[in-house]
Amino acid sequence: MTIRLPSVRHPQTFYDVFSVVAVAVTIMALVLTLRYGSVIRLEMAVFMTVVFIWAGWAIERILAESAKRSQRRRRKPPWNQ
């Protein structure tokens, strides 16, 4: 059984999105646990904003690819070939 690593550039499943967001939240928690200051909080807020914008883009891309695949399947029903 092979395990595919999550893709940031070309997300294919919601597993990719969930994994990247989970890692980002873990990194943020670790950084805020070790160093806590107003500049660090601002950097983490910007970091999480970028991560959530990426997550929105990734989900949009996954849904668009899924819609394209379903349209390709719908064009030629098997009984009309």
pLDDT digits (tens, 9 = 90+) for 19-78: 999 999 999 999 888 887 888 889 999 999 999 999 999 999 999 998 888 777 766 666
Q: CB-based contacts of 12: which residues, under 8 Å, 6+ apart?
A: 62, 65
Output the pLDDT for position 75: 65
Give the pLDDT score at 1. 67
Tokens 């929105």 sit on residue? 56
User: Which burial class, exposed, middle or buried, applies to 76 when counting CB atoms under 10 A from its CB (0-12, 13-18, 19+)?
Assistant: exposed
User: What is the reported pTM?
Assistant: 0.76
